[in-house]
Amino acid sequence: MALASEQGAESGQSTPAAPPAASTPPETSPAAAPSPTGSTGAPSASRETVASEAAQSLHVPSVPQDLRSPSIAMGGLFAAIGGAHLAPDFKTIADSRPDEAPSKLLQDWEAQRQHPGFSIKAFYAQHFSPPLRRDVSYRRKADENIYDYIQGMWGVLTRQPDKPMSYSSLLPLPYAYVVPGGRFSELYYWDTYFTMIGLYETGQWDLLRGMVKDMASLIDRYGHIPNGTRTYYLSRSEPPFFSLMVDLLAQHDGQGAYRTLLPELQKEYDYWMDGADALKPGQAYRHLVRLSDGTLLLRHWDDLDTPRDESYPEDVATAARAGTRAPSDVYRDLRAGSETGWDFSSRWLADGHTLATIHTTDLAPIEVNCLIAHLEQTLEHGYALTGQRKLARLYGQRADERTAVVRRIFWNDEKNAFYDYDWRKGQTTDVLSAATAMPLFLRLATQAQAMAVADTIQAKLLKPGGIMATDHESGQQWDAPNGWAPEQWMAIKGLNNYGASDLGETIARRWMARVIGTYEKSGVLLEKYDVESPGVSATGGKGGGEYPMQIGFGWTNGTLLGLMRRYPADTAQILRHNPLANQTPIDVLPPSDPYSAVGPQISPDAPAKPAGDVETGGEPGKSASADGASDRTPTDGNGSAKQAAEKTASGGLQSPQAAPLDQRVSTEKMTAFQPS
């Protein structure tokens, strides 16, 4: 079922003055691209300097803002800075703020660089304000346990609403938000969902609600949620978890969350489905691929085909190692690989280990196709709530069709697992990844498929510290031997959805032991861990990837707290073996079905619908009735639906409050980068 041809999207952006090897022609002739239905015009990354759109929505005085990536806005100057290697992490350069408009800065550079003795280092120091980085160091108190750490870290990682700054690459947000940690000092899309799990567990509803509103604000301003809140991320997104964020909020606020955020849910869907109506069999456009039999799949994409701003020198070097391959193709696939959230993994590498062979746009990954099915289910539910039954039926039908596609296209019957699909070759890939659990997490697999996946995970991915990202070791960070918090969480929840609770508990117990054991040795939580090693390392393990191990860390904190609450007996046993991380027993916060949750205030009864919810629900695999109602009765897992709703309405069980930050023995300092 390989495609006959691929039609490229017209980027419309000017190309930065990169080295000659980094020229960036369009993927194919833009004239051949289908006319996208519902398109909002050129990608936002192509806009010139404008009055701050963020300022308009934040109701603050406007400042000049350039929504183009710095590499586009500053062209040859940015490339020259990239070639000078002024910082060990080039993201520092991308985040620096120029002191004048990019066009004026370019003129100054063009004039000055002709002079003898011109120094790009001195020019950068004169015209750019380096970003302030929050370097957090910890000296654990004798009685500080891991729960205290997680609670206190919310304050450390929380950023207050942004103040727009002239020509800054930061996209300001109207509400307080939690950053991942380390070098990631802005909001990131899919990270945020797993961070929100921790906020949900500790009852921090205002912060959670504000972050959902921040996401909605990005959709309203830019037509989608970018990879992160920087202008250089506007040309791509990340795995679309927005509908699951709304689910999480609805479990406390009730059905009003779906009504309020329905316009943004629809815009999110329109972004990912841009061009679908005009796409013919054998064509691909932006995020979409239509196979020769008419099957519609989603892939990852970036509207630019230039080096990534945050990794400019590294990308130029990677393209130079790609032989006869066009640098623009390498850049596009590196960017698309960043949109996957798995940057990088053997999943995206043609030879399984060399980054220069990356071919992300040739692949339809498991996650994005499953997440769009969940988004369609959420749209069905939202339109049913608002009485728009025709639209509800439309999205319900699309969700059912996409579920069937997931079960058919991504399933490998010989290997008993879900795999990514190479649409050029017309077959699944050979890299087994933790993403095989995504259809279970969202209740899209059949019962037989789920049981087979459980066996495969246990045989090939389960290790002493949890499950590995993949069964390949490539040196990339999203491969063996590393394990990541979101993948553990989704696998555990997915296995529980289908009755494989023993394996789910085993993964949870091993992962918690690895994370808590590392905390015992280091006093911090990390973004990833070596789960294959039989021993616990204070540094987390081998690391790998483009940057050093980062501490914080939002999604590790959030999901660990969720697992500790759901497995109190395992948690108690692990803490007995790690006394410095020990804590008093904690209450278990019961889950609830977001599609039938009643908020703090009385809201109309919601139609029951199998939402693919990740917390609870009836037996998987049962279909909805003809009128769209579910034949499942959601409960909290411990009683009736009414009891679940009552617990949700009251905000669930009370959680201990975070320790005041001034009682924590931790220090935080602001440091400005100095060019090397």
Residues known to be catalytic: 343, 527
Q: For residues 428 and 158, what is the distance between their CA atoms, to the nearest angstrom? A: 41
Q: Check whether the bond before 70 is cis (ω within 30° of 0).
A: no
How far lies 673's CA from each of 79, 86, 455, in Å?
A: 19, 10, 49
Angle at 630 between CA 629 and CA 633, to 5 degrees: 130
Beta strands in 332-399 (DSSP E): 363-364
Neighbours of 558 (CB within 10 A): 28
Q: For residues 7 and 613, what is the distance between their CA atoms, to the nearest angstrom? A: 36
Instruction: Characterize 302-333 residue by residue with b for buried, 16 or more Cβ atoms within 10 angstroms of its Cβ, and e for exposed.
Output: bbbbbbbbbbbbbbbebbeebeeebbbbbbbb
Q: For residues 112 and 662, what is the distance between their CA atoms, to the nearest angstrom? A: 49
Supply 164's token pair: 């727009």
Q: Is 675 left (phi over 0), alpha (psi -120 to 50) or beta?
A: beta
Q: Are 138 and 178 in contact (CB under 8 A)?
A: no
Neighbours of 29 (CB within 10 A): 11
Q: Is 167 left (phi over 0), alpha (psi -120 to 50) or beta?
A: left
For residue 335, which of 228, 481, 472 has the smallest C-alpha distance? 228
Q: For residues 117 and 98, what is the distance between their CA atoms, to the nearest angstrom? A: 22
Q: Check whether the bond before 242 is cis (ω within 30° of 0).
A: no
**297, containing H or E segment:** strand 296-298
Q: Which residue has the tokens 């985040």?
A: 95
DSSP-derived 3-state class of residue 348: helix
What is the 3 state secondary structure string of 579-592? HHHCCCCCCCCCCC
For residue 575, which of 137, 203, 149, 152 has the smallest C-alpha distance? 149
Supply 326's token pair: 């066009």
DSSP-derived 3-state class of residue 349: strand
Q: φ, ψ for residue 462 (rounded to 5)?
A: -75, 125
Give the contacts of 459 (CB within 8 A, at least 6 positions apart). Answer: none
DSSP-derived 3-state class of residue 228: strand
DSSP-derived 3-state class of residue 382: helix
Q: Are 264 and 216 in contact (CB under 8 A)?
A: yes
